[in-house]
Amino acid sequence: MTSNPKLAVFLASPRGFCAGVDRAIQIVEKALARYGAPVYVRHEIVHNKHVVNRLKAMGAIFVKELDECPDDRPVVFSAHGVPKSVPATAEQRDLLYVDATCPLVSKVHIDAERHDKAGREIILIGHAGHPEVIGTMGQLEEGRMVLIETEADAEAFTPRDPDNLAYVTQTTLSVDDTSAIVEILKRRFPHMASPHKEDICYATTNRQGAVKAIGPKSDLVLVVGAPNSSNSRRLVEVATRAGAKASYLVEKADDIDWAWFENISSLGVSAGASAPEDLVEDLLAAVAERFDITVDTIEVAKEDVIFKLPRAVAEA
């Protein structure tokens, strides 16, 4: 009987669910417990179809816009945040709504409003079309915020007043990419106001730090996450930059292409902030069927952040 080849597995820690994602999922679960099914959810509560499908099975109905929601049922807004027009419309219709926006995203919204009230032109560093970016830009009147996506954008940007600028960022960006853009902006506009505290969330920073730690040790890195998850895609990029010979995003164990494993002796594993841990466990189990694995957890930070639930569901 042929024994399975040996494979060293480096498991990134922290990985998977962050406090904002955990809170958002709890909000939907507790809304269902308090108000009964169905509870409507505007957009995916978090970017993971396995989470979404589980909540659907419990009685959540996911919609794109509020006009798909009836007047007599509660609606939850996703963790990514929404433009101000969304709760305003809900209030006009007298809808019961629960805002599951991550508190760290809400902090960016508050910072943007503070800069706007001070009369500053605001730069948002982020990715066009991402729900969080749409929500952040929707906190202010159109034209009050300029989106910058790349270093080239930062070099080309022409402000109304170079001495009256501020910047905020999407919370799920690559730490390294964002710092490069900020450096260009600060060189060009030395008086630009910065966030009081870094906008990129602690969970994004920690997960990227853990992947940087496993990347150099790994012939291959697999990141469990959804293709529309910004923080998951950034982890794949970070792994490659850190020295992994190859890095791929997979939604689940079934997505693994076993050809990736040819001639490798080490595997790094992480998961995006909206990926449940059972998907990581399934992936490790699938690898263990084909290889004799040893698992070494590489921890770069401990996380103990907990965000309070909104009053509307806290008692459920």
The residues carrying an active-site annotation are 132
Per residue, what are the HEC states of the chain? CCCCCEEEEEEEECCCCCHHHHHHHHHHHHHHHHHCCCEEEECCCCCCHHHHHHHHHHCEEEECCHHHCCCCCCEEECCCCCCCHHHHHHHHCCCCEEECCCHHHHHHHHHHHHHHHCCCEEEEECCCCCHHHHHHHCCCCCCCEEEECCHHHHHHCCCCCCCCEEEEECCCCCHHHHHHHHHHHHHHCCCCECCCCCCCCHHHHHHHHHHHHHHHHCCEEEEECCCCCHHHHHHHHHHHHHCCCEEEEECCHHHCCHHHHCCCCEEEEEECCCCCHHHHHHHHHHHHHHCEEEEEEEECCCCCCCCCCCHHHHCC
